[in-house]
Structure 1
């Protein structure tokens, strides 16, 4: 096994200059390499990699890439997220194939192992060998306790949706699995924030009414107190200052994106630091002392704002961005002394490459590409645009065009899922696959999308089938008016809420679409109150009432399966039989309505698949069906 892995590693480095044409198979594969992290002393790398459809965690010497150990998948178990605890030891979240599902699920089990394979032990979860086996509880890393080489803090929570069981912060020994409770949250569905002494000080959670609640503790041993009264607007704590006297936080004000503030916990004085005109910060960037020195922004392209540009960390990050020509640069890990760091570089044409960066020499050494078969020069560029709705909202969108083509193109509208999600300027295998087949690809962050402020998101409440779809139509008209899209050759395709949008837009604007593809979509809004996993959450009913509304007639009017009489476009339905988010009953309801009308449709359903296909053979079959369907109605063979 060691010889095989080293041969694979060597081949990877040798064939980096080989070029070949992209194919549908290339866009249907999982990444070969998912993450790379360096040990605190810089002597070893841990690499999470694909191995015949399952993941393994390989440990390599940094100087010569010699393999020291590989933690392979075993039976139903696979390694997933992992973290260096000290120079020798890594803790690993274990995912497991269970029941019928193709995609492994995370049950919160934690495994620990040294880089040489010694001292292997399941330290938390139902199969932990020491202490009590907490059936139904999962553990998830909260804090690595930088000055403690034997313990970490985890969030321990019940994996079911029982809102009466409160999450806890637990101190876990990474060698023995012994645990000690540190603090319990006052609210379910919550996240903790610890200070620089690893003391839980904030809890942000969601109550049964789908309202956000914030609690604060003065320190170790102190009780939780409500925090909302201390500020105006929504407040999301991010990180403590190095002296623990202040907290960096995102704050939402009416009709504005989130801004970054520093809030003094003693004086209750807030200091404004930065706010974009259009988008919320994607995430904050902190130094080793937990001082926030910058923000990642995704207004149009990805960019970085440095609020403390003179710090050493900010200068290093700016140098990396310049060295990689403005691509997205994420520091995934670094050594204790800060002299070496692993960075992940990505863009609209690069799914991700890993480098070791030496902060003394200011030189980066290439390690590997997550998908080495994807060649940047063969991928299409993605360009952002902005449009304004009749009621004054600014919408951010993206166009991905086939290489060398700009005008009068067959076009696929690709609405995102959620709807409380958003599209980014990043590598998208579906968009690249479609562009590689000759289609222009149009995306838009419609009202209801996250990342543009609370008011923008709430503008989509009750508007799933109306205002949101009108925003999608507005973006399509922009592509037609600018000459990019051929208005006679347009289809719409989406997954999850995007699948709902594909059918609903084709119903709302039937003259604009030649075909519609719904992938794991919801098609009957009243059904969401009875089927799927959202209803089972403590806040599920309140969420559905808030985002969908409670007018039964309006819900029916906005349900594709109830309105196929208004549909002109032929339909392709793709679904997983074991989908618990967009329950399989949605696909069956749409199919029944189409059958009753005698409307043309194609049907691709796979058992053991959930909310999105995971098995590569199934992904490939779905992608081939999508391309054949598009070609039939708007491609070269369309009549």
Structure 2
């Protein structure tokens, strides 16, 4: 643990990597490759201080505090290198003390594992301590996860205490009976100033989750079913307590089959209503329900949509009070239940007409000062401070100052027809000021496959649009957000349907005249990289160039990557067994790929091992194909380094232009 603390303990001035916003290739790659300047932000309970996790050069991050009552000079009090230590987030436990989550990668038993810890420190960077409890399991070694804060205890008299989960490992001490025999996940009340600890929930061997009412009382516990060998079985039982009662009662059971969940999944508890908010399926799509926690389990439908999943709660304040929910059709829509906030949302829409994506990021304890985010497809977004009593809105910082001089491209929701006649939703980004016809074009399938694209700013398509490409992002069948029927059996088991839709997106670009002949390429990250490679297996003549970032290339290899982890059974079921495993693996079908291939991969990727890209490159070379693999040292799946992302964008652009026969 000492290594992790030391990596983040040096307070130093940091700067944000900036670049001129010109349209030249190198300038554009640096500007769009730069990570978000503000990666996370929070406001102190008294509303007088702002804490921000900001990007530092390369992969680094810095915790910066601004005193809103003084000179407002940003002061850096904590840094991390990003290789591999990460400063994930920081929030206020009191008006002068912060709680931060950090993460790193360590090698244990020849496996590279993610480790997390929680720290606490003063607003000036002093008195930094580890908030995570004892993490040494005397039988199994250091605990991998350092727990998480689940309640900031905003009630009067709580002081700087928080509720946080803790993984208790089995202890063994020779010659004493004092060692702890309780194992599993428990909850402690921890004072962030003096580190005094009090057990709130005894460790439960199979507990996976606890949900509080936001006022210091644990009301819901999730118990994840596992086999005798510890392998997860895709079934979570939720239990609840009545007010003032310690007995656990059945609430719901959530099962997962090939990536599709069923059953009431609780997300939050409302103390005043004595009810849990959560999601469950309704007519094949997710809807928001409220279930009474008084013993009756009375169930009430709160919000649904006939076309898409309701997939997100809107909360406010330190107690994460539920005030609304949202869903994404062609654009995300938010429904606010709280009348004063509903009126406020309407006022903000009028005050920020060109930034329709507005969300409440954080609030002071009395909810009178709010930190807001606002953005659009052509605005990466900026953070604002809103003073509710005085009705004053002041900008704090832009998310991506490097793009201030860039003319960004509008994103248009469209649909196109798949080969079987199904209407596929998608987002089309055309270069600003272009005619929209006869352009070099890219299909950009999303990752996941359990994900979907949404309307708004996205640095990847915006970079390519700035370089003159039309970009189409299809929400192919296999995407989430449109219900279980659209999800199919997931994008691997139903790869022919999913990849067929991706290829039909390319055919649409050609048939509509948007794409010029012989200038159609495909670019993807993670599952999107898999889709980019597998698209050429399904139709070798469609795309002229393939760019795949951190791609899955072999389903059997992907299965093997999880063999020693507790989710092995879930991944095995998700991938499935049968002919599709070989037929749906690009590395097993290299001879069908005609287009040149460019791949990028970080060598610390835990999501998709770099061995998959190495295997793909080897198989393509063996088949006499043109392929290049760029490996980035010390980086994980997201390639979270501004310099590396700029390099990747520049190389991708040059590769595509060469394949299309275009100049720089």
| Deviation of the 1:253 alpha carbon | 2.5
Q: Does 1:195 align with 2:213?
A: yes
* More deviation, 241-250/439-448: 241-250
**Residue 29 (structure 1) shift:** 1.5
Contact 1:447 1:459 in 2 (8 A): no
- How has the CA–CA distance of structure 1 residues 549 and 385 changed in structure 2, closer, same or farther, with 3 Å as cutoff? same
The answer as to whether partners of 1:169 and 1:181 remain within 8 angstroms in 2 is yes
Cα distance in 2 between the residues matched to 1:140 and 1:192: 10
Question: How big is the shift at 1:111?
Answer: 1.8
| Equivalent residue, structure 1, for 2:431 | 402
Structure 2 partner of 1:86: 94
Aligned residue among 522, 525, 544 for 2:555: 525
**Preserved contact between residue 240 and residue 290 of structure 1 (Cα < 8 Å):** no
1:587 is matched with which residue: 610, 613, 619? Answer: 613
1:335-358 deviation per Cα after TM superposition (whole angstroms, max 9, x unaligned)? 223222111112222223111111
- Alignment correspondent of 1:23: 28
Cα distance change of structure 1 residues 209 and 343 upon mapping to structure 2, 3 Å threshold: same
Correspondence 1:354 to 2:373: no
1:634 aligns with 2:627: no
Match of 2:461 among 431, 445, 449: 431
Separation in 1, partners of 2:274, 2:571? 35
In structure 2, distance between residues paired with 1:32 and 1:297: 27
Contact 1:108 1:125 in 2 (8 A): no
Whether 1:149 aligns to 2:178 is: no
SS of the residue 2:146 aligns to? strand
Residue 586 of structure 1 and its aligned partner are, at CA, apart by 1.3
2:279 alignment counterpart: 250
Q: Show the counterpart of 1:260.
A: 288
Q: How far has the Cα of 1:414 moved from its partner?
A: 0.9
3-state DSSP of counterpart to 1:35: strand
**In the TM superposition, what is the alpha-carbon distance from 1:263 to its structure 2 partner?**
2.0
The yes-or-no answer on 1:549 pairing with 2:583 is no
Q: 347, 350, 368: which is aligned to 1:319?
A: 347
Cα 1:491–1:110 change in 2 (3 A) is same
User: Which of 299, 317, 324 is equivalent to 1:294?
Assistant: 324
Q: Cα 1:370–1:225, aligned 2, differ >3 Å: closer, same or farther? A: same
In the alignment, does 2:164 pair up with 1:140?
no
Correspondent of 2:512 among 458, 469, 482: 482
CA distance in 2, matches of 1:159, 1:317: 46
Q: Which residue of 1 aligns with 2:72?
A: 66
When residues 350 and 430 of structure 1 are mapped into structure 2, their CA distance, relative to the original with a 3 A threshold, is same
Q: 2:600 aligns with which of 570, 574, 580?
A: 574
Equivalents in 1 of 2:663, 2:53: separation in Å?
42
Q: CA deviation at 1:90?
A: 1.2
Are residue 210 (structure 1) and residue 245 (structure 2) matched?
Answer: no
CA–CA distance in structure 2, aligned partners of residues 473 and 624 of structure 1: 25
Q: Counterparts of 2:41 and 2:98 in 1: how far apart (Å)?
A: 13
What is the root-mean-square deviation of aligned Cα atoms in Å?
Answer: 3.4
Greater RCO structure (CA 8 Å; 6+ sep):
2
Deviation of residue 555 (structure 1)?
0.8
Are 1:114 and 2:140 matched, yes or no? no
Select 1:33's aligned residue among 33, 38, 45.
38
Distance (Å, rounded) in 2 between the aligned partners of 1:251 and 1:628: 46
- Alignment deviations for residues 180-236 of structure 1 (CA, whole Å, 9 cap, x no partner): 332257574833221244322223465422234333333566343443379995212
List per-residue Cα deviations over 1:125-179 (Å, max 9, x = no partner).
5699xxxx9744412111101011221011224799xxx9632222111012232
In structure 2, distance between residues paired with 1:481 and 1:459: 30
1:240 maps to which residue?
269
Give the TM-score taking structure 1 as reference length.
0.87
Q: Which runs of 5+ in 2 are unaligned?
A: 1-10, 171-181, 226-231, 256-260
Q: Once structures 1 and 2 are overlaid, which stretch shifts more, 438-447 or 269-278?
A: 269-278
Mapped contact 2:168–2:203 kept (Cα < 8 A) = no
2: CA distance, partners of 1:192 / 1:252: 22
Q: Does the C-alpha gap of structure 1 residues 386 and 215 become closer, same or farther in structure 2, counting only changes over 3 Å? A: farther
Cα 1:137–1:285, aligned 2, differ >3 Å: closer, same or farther? closer
Secondary structure, counterpart of 1:512 in structure 2: coil
How big is the shift at 1:97?
A: 6.7
2:491, 2:207 → 1: CA distance?
A: 22
State whether structure 2 residue 636 is matched by structure 1 residue 618: no
Does the 8 Å CA contact 2:372/2:385 hold for their aligned counterparts? yes
CA gap of 1:188–1:399, structure 2 versus 1, over 3 A, is: farther
Deviates more, 1:491-500 or 1:271-280: 271-280
SS at match of 2:433: coil
Residues 124 and 401 (structure 1 numbering): CA distance in 2 closer, same or farther, change over 3 Å? same
2:48 corresponds, among 43, 59, 77, to 43
Q: 2:379 aligns to what SS in structure 1?
A: coil
1:458, distance to aligned residue in structure 2 (A): 4.1
- 8 Å contact kept, 2:479–2:486: yes
* Alpha-carbon distance between aligned partners in 2 of 1:114 and 1:339, rounded to the nearest angstrom: 24
Do the aligned partners of residues 432 and 342 (structure 1) sit closer, same or farther apart at CA in structure 2, a change above 3 Å counting? same
How far the C-alpha of 1:396 sits from its partner, in A, is: 2.7
More off after superposition, 63-72 vs 409-418: 63-72
- Of the three residues 600, 618, 622, the one matched with 2:626 is 600
Q: Residues 404 and 501 of structure 1: is their aligned pair in 2 closer, same or farther, counting only changes over 3 Å? A: same
Could you say which residue in structure 2 is the equivalent of 1:385?
Answer: 414
Task: Give the 3 Å change call, closer, same or farther, for CA 137–603 of structure 1 in structure 2.
Answer: closer
TM-score by length of 2: 0.84
- The equivalent of 2:193 in structure 1 is 175
Asked if the contact 1:125–1:134 (Cα under 8 Å) also holds between the matched residues in 2, the reply is: no
Q: Distance in 1 between matches of 2:349 and 2:205?
A: 40
Q: Which runs of 5+ in 1 are unaligned?
A: none
Query: Which residue is equivalent to 1:559?
Result: 585
CA positional deviation for 1:424? 1.6
Change (3 A) 1:631 1:459: same
CA distance in 2, matches of 1:480, 1:185: 59
Residues 426-460 of structure 1 show CA distances to partners (whole Å, capped at 9, x for unaligned) of 22111111111111111112222222233433442
Alignment correspondent of 2:176: none
